Amino acid sequence: MPELPEVEVVRSGLASMVVGTTIRKVGVHHERATRRNVGDLAVQLDGAVIESVCRRGKYMWLELDRPFVLMVHLGMSGQIRINDSPSGHPHVRVDWTVTRAGEPPRYFEFLDQRTFGGMQICDRDQDGLPVAVSRIARDPFDPLFDVDAFAEMLTKRSIEVKKGLLDQHLISGIGNIYADECLWRVGLDGRTPCNHLDRSTAVEIVTTVTGVMSEALVAGGTSFDALYVNVNGESGYFSRSLAVYGREGHPCDRCGDPIIRSKFMNRSSFHCSTCQPPWSLP
């Protein structure tokens, strides 16, 4: 399940392989994958030159020699592969040829089993930012991300802290996995209301989640079910290092008590009930 580190691995890998190439022969093989512009994606992209690959949180986009960008979201199961020949894989949703003068053509493939991901032509707002991300908050790796401002804003919210970490309008890039890992490291119950946190605790939360994601980025991304593959088709391996996520019943690395699985926001959460004691009204 790609979160910020996995998307960044894809972004940097993709950038190293396709910047300066021309997009041709775009094929759309699944309507949902192109969202709003099903019909004309191929027409608009044909002949475009990729100038750079950018990212905010879990959103990634290709800057083109066009007024618009191509926004890409990997969703739950999206992958991008660059191959020397078409793979013929049944999950290929969009593909095109990658051409550069003096080089043999290669093949860009966007694969997505669960079709929660996709790509679309996206205009820019007044600041030049793609409109699809103009309301998405900066992520912690953004040079302009303001830790203190985020901490202050967070402590004013009434929502539970895990919900705050997952809200891409407050801070972007964090998903279910890194939220749980962060809360375990801090020793905090994810159901604690944000407005009951000290400012210093809020700062600790954001520095911790940044640390967890930095480690994952170094490791090359996390993979659980082999659905995530980076741009070269290699699986990540940081999942071996996870302390709580997916480890129901296993002993906590810190205290040895079993990891508890529970439902939160209609999805699974994992925590240690000893290291992360239940929050209650003071």
Residue 241 CB, shortest distance to DNA, in Å, is 16
Question: In whole angstroms, what is the distance from residue 155 CA to residue 278 CA?
Answer: 19
φ and ψ of 108, to 5 deg: -85, 130
Report the residue from 58, 81, 138, 247 that binds DNA according to the rule CB under 7 A. 58
Using CB under 7 A as the binding rule, the residues of this chain from 88 to 117 that contact DNA are 90-91, 113-116
Question: In whole angstroms, what is the distance from residue 245 CA to residue 235 CA?
Answer: 18
Structural tokens at position 246: 């997916």
Residue 102 CB, shortest distance to DNA, in Å, is 38
> Per CB under 7 A, does 1 bind DNA?
yes
Q: Which is nearer to DNA, 176 or 276 (CB)?
A: 176
Residue 13 CB, shortest distance to DNA, in Å, is 19
> Per CB under 7 A, does 79 bind DNA?
no
Q: Which is nearer to DNA, 160 or 204 (CB)?
A: 160
Residue 162, number of CB atoms within 10 A of its CB: 24
Question: In whole angstroms, what is the distance from residue 209 CA to residue 199 CA?
Answer: 16
> Per CB under 7 A, does 69 bind DNA?
no
Using CB under 7 A as the binding rule, the residues of this chain from 194 to 253 that contact DNA are none
Phi/psi zone of residue 4: left (φ > 0), alpha (ψ -120 to 50 degrees), beta? alpha
Q: Roughly how many angstroms between the first and final C-alpha of the chain, as a whole number?
A: 36
- What contacts 168, CB < 8 A, 6 or more positions away? 57, 58, 136, 137
Residue 56 CB, shortest distance to DNA, in Å, is 10
Is 241 within 8 Å of 221 (Cβ atoms)?
Answer: no
Q: Active-site positions?
A: 2-3, 58, 267
| Closest listed residue to residue 80, CA positions, set 174, 13, 28, 1 | 13
Report the residue from 177, 203, 206, 243 that binds DNA according to the rule CB under 7 A. 177
> Per CB under 7 A, does 24 bind DNA?
no
> Per CB under 7 A, does 13 bind DNA?
no
Stretch that binds DNA, among 69-77, 103-111, 184-192, 204-212 (CB under 7 A): 69-77
Q: Which residues of this protein are in contact with DNA, per CB under 7 A?
A: 1, 32, 57-59, 73, 75-76, 90-91, 113-116, 132, 157-159, 163, 166, 168, 175-177, 266-268
